[in-house]
Structure 1
Amino acid sequence: MISIIIRTKNEERWITSCLRSVFKQDYKDFEVIIVDNDSTDKTLEKAKEFNVKKIVTCKDYLPGKAINLGVAESVGDYLVCLSGHCIPVNDKWLSGFMENFKDKKVAGVYGRQEPMSFTADFDKRDLSIVFGLDKKIQLKDSFFHNANSMIRRDVWEEIPFDEKVTNIEDRVWAKNVLGKGYKIIYEPQASVYHYHGIHQNGNVERCTNVVKIMGSIEDFSGQHLEIENLNIVAVIPIRGPLQYLKEKPLIGYTIEHALKSKYIKKIIVATDDPQIAEAAVELGAEVPFLRDASLSEEHVDIDQVLEHCLNKIESLGIFPDLLVLLEATFPFRPDSLIDNMIKQMVKKGMDSIIAAKRENKSLWKEKEGQIEQIDEGLTPRKFKEPSFIGLKGVGCVTHPEFIREGTLLGHKIGLYEIDNPYSPIEVRSEEDFKLAEKLIGSWQQQIKQKLNTRSV
């Protein structure tokens, strides 16, 4: 048996993809033990959705101590060390390791670590240089890496990991086993995706140029989280009363768009109105709770509403990897918008992405009674840096960790440009409804024509 020891510390963004890939391996005789360093996010709740044998807490964290704690709870003859943010590339990962242990003199094997499409240039460079495509047998070189490795249990019993060193416990161990006459192997077939690298400094411009050259040799573009494996939940916040657009509930247009998504697993309507709740369920959404009426006051912002909704959702045992915010007051969405936003965000490793409209006209703001221009003034349009108007109600995709912190958006934000005049139209006032009723027919006709064109 193989015992897989996964070390974690606030890995909620990665642990689902990590464990999903682990449990897809073609080598099935294994157990999983998680050693967690006091995670404060939803790492452990997500881990418990899988067949994890045991979760061990390591409060006074040192890398060697954490691994030894995990091994002490395990029974396998072979021990895998895996970081919680590393994702096995394919289902041959474990068997790729095991092939090397036919030789009894092999103490340990470490695998390849590949960058993801959104990995920083420094880290792409370092990972590609250190973890190459050629297998190596090491008799003197003590390089070893416990983000992705396998060792023999009997060798660990003879030489456990040093529990006093603050880092490079893997290289200290490798030096000791090589001194006893064992071998270390680098196996590129046992590969994981690792979003950050092993060295994180250097000249930015030079590194970027190096990565461009490497990119012409090796394609990193397809290396990202598998979107189909993510638990993506759409949240539609709406307060009463129930309103209609062209004899159809206004919220129905947004639910319909969400249902067309390939990636959204659940559509949750967060409302304080029983009539809206009933209509939403009939239209195909879920309403597992009615939100507190106090959250419908004019002064309450969307961050507070979403934080409340996320707490309710997670209390039901639902732990989203991504949240999609859709507001019912925006009925004009292209069918492809939601999935395109999700794909762009995941492939580029963004914290959040928001729909936006390009604006080339003059932009002004009032500050302390004074009017200030915030664009580039009278510069000809073709030479202006573009400005964008955010349309979070049309669509916003973000990570739950930011919602828990009381904010909608993270630090690395992407914009998804809306290039049609319909989608930015918000329907709230009586005049808005009159305009929308005139436009909705022509908009739906355009959508049908596009679908027919694609099918021809």
Structure 2
Amino acid sequence: MKKNKLVSIIIRTKNEENWISVCLDKIFKQNYKNFEVIIVDNNSTDKTVKRALEYNVRIVKIKKFLPGKAINLGIKKSKGDIIVCLSAHCIPVNNSWLKNLIKPLKNIQIAGSYGRQEPYSFSSDFDKRDLLNTFGLDKKIQKKDSFFHNANSAFTKNIWKKFPFDENITNIEDRIWGNVVIKAGYNIFYNPDASVFHYHGIHQDLDPVRCKQIVSILESFGGEFKSSQIKENTKNKILAIIPQRDKTKIYKNQNLISFTINELKQSKKIKEIVVSTNDTKTKKISENLRAYVPFLRPKNLSESYVDLNSVLKFTLNKLEGNRKFFDIIVIASENYPLRKKGLFDKMISKLILGNYDTVIACKTEKGSIWQKNKLKTVNLVNNLIPSKIKNQKTLIANTGYACVTRPTKIRENDILNGKIYFYEIDDHNSFFEIQNIKSFKKFLDQK
């Protein structure tokens, strides 16, 4: 009777004391008996290694852990013709797991096989969803799909010699390997009969940092892995609204609102400029500058206590009532006449290409920030912390300086919620707000 080939089972560990014993117990109960187990341990500080040594295993130490490097190290120490990778917290569902996992490798066209991963009852809903959707019940041969997962996988040592794992990347060494072997003309086999329980799933309970790293690696492959860049729709109808309460200010015979209107007119994307004002003189001045003033704001929306969104919502409703609909709204007030050329078009492009709800201009504040009311003063930002150890910066956003948003956000009074991009302005002088014309004159004279 021909002896079964020796299988080397590589298990990478880092503080897996809670799982390693049950994992090894299930491995040593498999009905395929010709195997060895190699633990590649990454400086565990708990009892992982001691618990593992209760079984017939070999321990290999790795100091600087990288996933592909750890697998390659374990394989170099192995004796088997077939290699199995198993996560320490993956528990074989039954005693036929190992036999079913390596069976597809008899086909020389199969570079690797991987098995099903099932959630536990206590797994998070996110992980349950991902595992149940990703690992189905049908066996399949992947000829173009390069998905491969080393939490529960197998391949021959000869294949590994041709295609060792990348030792320099921080995540998804298995997906990279799968991409390489598929491009080399091999296939990958998925066998749901080789199933394990895996409590945290393939997306680590939606860890955003890990997710960002994985996306970055996948997109570096190019081709089908590269996310398609949305193109700007030249048919987007873009409206600029200048909210102007009372009469525009005058400096050296020039109306302050003219600065903002002219800046908006320079845009290659903005199709229409509307001045929302309650003042007849401002209306006339704006129209002379070829801005559109289809109506005057009512008195109840012209009081000093009225919030900006109420004015914007009123203006948008009036326009839409006249069947004038827009895809994007740009907001700018007359109080910021020193904006840099091209600002509005850059912010519009950012909104479209990033699919943001709102893009708002802001500046970085380096000083300490306090919030004061009648009862107390609270320090919100402590600028005495050394800059080298700060893990955040303070942004001061201003809708009146420049803001690009969606009509739906205005209708819902929700401009500053949702997917927001904070467009940082390097030139803080351009952020100078004109509260009165004397301060503006003084500022210009000093420049």
Q: What's the TM-score once normalised by structure 1's chain length?
A: 0.50
Q: Say if 1:253 and 1:375 are closer, same or farther in 2 by CA, change over 3 A.
A: same
Kindly indicate whether residue 283 of structure 2 is the aligned counterpart of residue 277 of structure 1.
Answer: yes
Counterpart of 1:91? none
Note the C-alpha offset of 1:397. 0.7
**Which secondary structure does the structure 2 equivalent of 1:229 belong to?**
coil
Cα distance between partner residues in 1 of 2:404 and 2:143: 36
Q: Which amino acid aligns with 1:431?
A: K
Counterpart of 1:331? 337
Counterpart of 1:371? 377
Counterpart of 1:257? 263
Question: What RMSD over aligned residues (CA atoms) do the two structures have, in Å?
Answer: 3.0
Counterpart of 1:341? 347
Counterpart of 1:357? 363
Kindly indicate whether residue 420 of structure 2 is the aligned counterpart of residue 416 of structure 1.
Answer: no
Q: Which amino acid aligns with 2:430?
A: S
**Which secondary structure does the structure 1 equivalent of 2:314 belong to?**
helix
Q: Which moved more, 1:344-353 or 1:425-434?
A: 425-434
Cα distance between partner residues in 1 of 2:242 and 2:306: 16
Kindly indicate whether residue 406 of structure 2 is the aligned counterpart of residue 406 of structure 1.
Answer: no
Cα distance between partner residues in 2 of 1:134 and 1:249: 64
Note the C-alpha offset of 1:429. 1.9
Note the C-alpha offset of 1:217. 2.2
**Which secondary structure does the structure 1 equivalent of 2:429 belong to?**
coil
Pairs within 5 Å for 1:166-177: none
Query: Which of residues 280, 286, 289 in structure 1 aligns to 2:292?
Result: 286
Counterpart of 2:222? 218
Cα distance between partner residues in 2 of 1:203 and 1:242: 51
C-alpha deviations, 1:335-394, integer Å up to 9, x for none? 121111111222222111111110111111125612111113411234332101112111
Note the C-alpha offset of 1:428. 2.2
**Which secondary structure does the structure 1 equivalent of 2:431 belong to?**
coil
The answer as to whether partners of 2:232 and 2:353 remain within 8 angstroms in 1 is: no
Q: Which amino acid aligns with 1:248?
A: Q
The answer as to whether partners of 1:227 and 1:343 remain within 8 angstroms in 2 is: no
Cα distance between partner residues in 2 of 1:253 and 1:245: 11
Note the C-alpha offset of 1:212. 2.0
Cα distance between partner residues in 2 of 1:227 and 1:133: 36
Cα distance between partner residues in 2 of 1:370 and 1:310: 39
The answer as to whether partners of 1:325 and 1:395 remain within 8 angstroms in 2 is: yes
Cα distance between partner residues in 1 of 2:240 and 2:374: 38
Counterpart of 2:387? 381
C-alpha deviations, 1:138-172, integer Å up to 9, x for none? xxxxxxxxxxxxxxxxxxxxxxxxxxxxxxxxxxx
Q: Which moved more, 1:240-249 or 1:275-284?
A: 240-249
Larger-gyration structure (1/2): 2
Counterpart of 2:433? 426
Structure 2 runs not aligned, ≥5 long: 1-128, 135-141, 146-202
Note the C-alpha offset of 1:210. 3.6
Pairs within 5 Å for 1:10-409: 203-204=206-207, 207-218=211-222, 220=226, 223-367=229-373, 369-384=375-390, 385-409=392-416
**Which secondary structure does the structure 2 equivalent of 1:358 belong to?**
strand
Cα distance between partner residues in 1 of 2:270 and 2:143: 36
Cα distance between partner residues in 1 of 2:323 and 2:231: 23
**Which secondary structure does the structure 2 equivalent of 1:268 belong to?**
strand
Q: Say if 1:267 and 1:133 are closer, same or farther in 2 by CA, change over 3 A.
A: farther
Note the C-alpha offset of 1:206. 5.2
Q: Alignment length, in residue pairs?
A: 250
The answer as to whether partners of 1:363 and 1:374 remain within 8 angstroms in 2 is: yes
Q: Say if 1:290 and 1:407 are closer, same or farther in 2 by CA, change over 3 A.
A: same
**Which secondary structure does the structure 2 equivalent of 1:427 belong to?**
coil
**Which secondary structure does the structure 1 equivalent of 2:306 belong to?**
coil
Note the C-alpha offset of 1:203. 4.2
Cα distance between partner residues in 2 of 1:368 and 1:350: 37
Note the C-alpha offset of 1:278. 1.1
Cα distance between partner residues in 2 of 1:400 and 1:233: 10
**Which secondary structure does the structure 2 equivalent of 1:364 belong to?**
strand
Cα distance between partner residues in 2 of 1:326 and 1:353: 12
The answer as to whether partners of 2:309 and 2:413 remain within 8 angstroms in 1 is: yes
Q: Say if 1:331 and 1:133 are closer, same or farther in 2 by CA, change over 3 A.
A: farther
**Which secondary structure does the structure 1 equivalent of 2:281 belong to?**
helix
**Which secondary structure does the structure 2 equivalent of 1:432 belong to?**
helix
Q: Which amino acid aligns with 1:211?
A: V
Q: Which amino acid aligns with 1:389?
A: I
**Which secondary structure does the structure 1 equivalent of 2:272 belong to?**
strand
The answer as to whether partners of 1:246 and 1:437 remain within 8 angstroms in 2 is: no
